[in-house]
């Protein structure tokens, strides 16, 4: 009953097209859901995402769920995730990705799921790390350990949106610190992969411990 009342007083709308959607439906209408721009990249060692990271630091597997382009539905979802206090979008997208990859044997190798950390100044401003709920959901789906504290971001950078790949790589070197000396296979999770600089910096820090392997998953990737 209360859901019906709420749906009348505060109708739920599709993030992409603003159409009113049923209260139980998640984030986008059926029409927009049917045209989500999936990358089609499984969790594997044979794709351009792995190659992009592997050119700088050794990783095992890589995957990304959606294609990120200016003004497309993915950008809108990520905007709500990061700036509209909607971390549940990350959890929802994690569930979609897991459903697409649940029979992939590579996933059985993961020991820990690690969200890319944000600096405390950004956390104070935003009040949450947008990717943590996504990573926590994945750890439950993969039946492995969630490790939100293993990495710490030790210095803050302004937005790198307009920076080139090499500038990003240089600026972010040493930005992360490993707090716990654990070994195993870590799945690094982030929202958007553009140049890969952030993931490269995180992987480099984690790999300072011997007998460590790194794989990555991002909710989206720019093409």
Quote the pLDDT of residue 20.
Answer: 93
State pLDDT tens for residues 41-63: 999 999 999 999 999 999 999 99
State pLDDT tens for residues 191-209: 999 999 999 999 999 999 9
Beta-carbon neighbour count of residue 184 at 10 Å?
16
Quote the pLDDT of residue 162.
Answer: 52
Report the number of distinct structural domains present in the chain.
Answer: 2
Residues 52, 135, single domain; the answer is yes
Beta-carbon neighbour count of residue 152 at 10 Å?
14
Whole-prediction pTM: 0.90
Quote the pLDDT of residue 172.
Answer: 80
Quote the pLDDT of residue 165.
Answer: 63
Residues 9, 43, single domain; the answer is no
Quote the pLDDT of residue 58.
Answer: 97
Select from 89, 100, 66 the least CA-distant residue to 15. 89
Residues 71, 23, single domain; the answer is no
Quote the pLDDT of residue 181.
Answer: 84
Query: Would you say residue 212 has pLDDT above 90?
Result: yes
Range of the domain at 151: 36-222
Residues 65, 82, single domain; the answer is yes
Residues 97, 25, single domain; the answer is no
C-alpha to C-alpha distance for 26 and 178, rounded to whole angstroms: 35
């Amino acid at each position: 009953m209360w859901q019906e009342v709420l749906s009348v007083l505060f109708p739920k709308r599709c993030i992409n097209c603003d159409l009113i959607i049923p209260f139980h439906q998640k984030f986008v209408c059926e029409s927009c859901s049917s045209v989500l721009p999936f990358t089609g990249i499984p969790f594997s060692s044979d794709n351009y995402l792995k190659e992009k990271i592997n050119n700088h630091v050794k990783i095992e597997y890589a995957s990304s769920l959606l294609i990120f382009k200016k003004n497309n539905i993915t950008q809108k979802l990520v905007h709500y995730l990061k700036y509209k206090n909607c971390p549940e979008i990350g959890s929802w997208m994690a569930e979609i990705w897991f459903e697409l990859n649940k029979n992939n044997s590579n996933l059985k190798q993961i020991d820990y799921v690690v969200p890319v950390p944000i600096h405390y100044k950004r956390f104070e401003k935003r009040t949450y790390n947008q990717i943590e709920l996504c990573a926590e959901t994945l750890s439950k789906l993969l039946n492995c350990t969630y490790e939100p504290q293993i990495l710490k971001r030790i210095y803050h950078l302004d937005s790198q949106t307009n920076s080139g790949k090499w500038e990003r790589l240089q600026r972010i070197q040493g930005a992360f610190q490993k707090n716990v000396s654990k070994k195993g296979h870590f799945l690094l999770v982030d929202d958007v992969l553009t140049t890969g600089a952030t993931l490269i910096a995180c992987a480099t820090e984690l790999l300072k411990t011997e007998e460590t392997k790194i794989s990555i998953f991002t909710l989206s990737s720019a093409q």
